[in-house]
């Protein structure tokens, strides 16, 4: 979902929530349920805004884990490797596979 539609979702949900919350009477029953639902939607939309488009910068795993070795001074990742732990693990397995076959095959 694009950031703009997240903002629209957030605004719509908050508007619904405040309409109910600032009503003459305290929300009860069905109204209270609608309020909870609207706040939940607002929270989800706000959450995805704060998460951004994905921390890994990986198109395949935008919500995946970040490699703990990324930006590690003592044990840096090979050049060209990204932040995505899943992709880096795949690369690690591939490199190890090559190493196991030994230099004789290269």
Q: Does 39 bind Zn ion (CB under 5 A)?
A: no
CB of 69 to Zn ion, least distance (A): 15
Helices (H) and strands (E) in the chain, counts: 3, 0
Q: Does 84 bind Zn ion (CB under 5 A)?
A: yes
Q: Does 86 bind Zn ion (CB under 5 A)?
A: yes
CB of 88 to Zn ion, least distance (A): 8
State which residue, 41 or 61, has the beta carbon closest to Zn ion. 61
| Integer angstrom CA distances of residue 98 from 31, 48, 103, 106 | 62, 39, 8, 9
Q: Which stretch binds Zn ion (CB under 5 A): 24-32, 40-48, 77-85, 92-100?
A: 77-85
Contacts 24+ apart (CB under 8 A), 26-34: none
Farthest-apart Cα atoms in the chain, separation: 82
Phi then psi dihedrals of residue 84, to 5 deg = -75, 120
Q: Does 92 bind Zn ion (CB under 5 A)?
A: no
Q: Which residues pair with residue 66 across a beta bridge? A: 84
CB of 64 to Zn ion, least distance (A): 6
Q: What residues make contact with Zn ion under the rule CB under 5 A?
A: 58, 60-61, 84, 86-87
């Amino acid at each position: 979902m694009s950031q703009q539609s997240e903002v629209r979702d957030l605004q719509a949900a908050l508007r619904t929530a405040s309409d109910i919350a600032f009503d003459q009477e305290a929300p009860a029953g069905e109204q209270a349920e609608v309020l909870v639902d609207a706040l939940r939607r607002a929270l989800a939309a706000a959450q995805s805004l704060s998460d951004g488009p994905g921390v890994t910068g990986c198109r395949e795993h935008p919500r995946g884990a970040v490699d703990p070795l990324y930006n590690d001074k003592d044990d840096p990742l090979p050049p060209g490797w990204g932040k995505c732990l899943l992709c880096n693990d795949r690369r690690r397995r591939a490199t190890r596979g090559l190493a196991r076959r030994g230099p004789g095959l290269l």
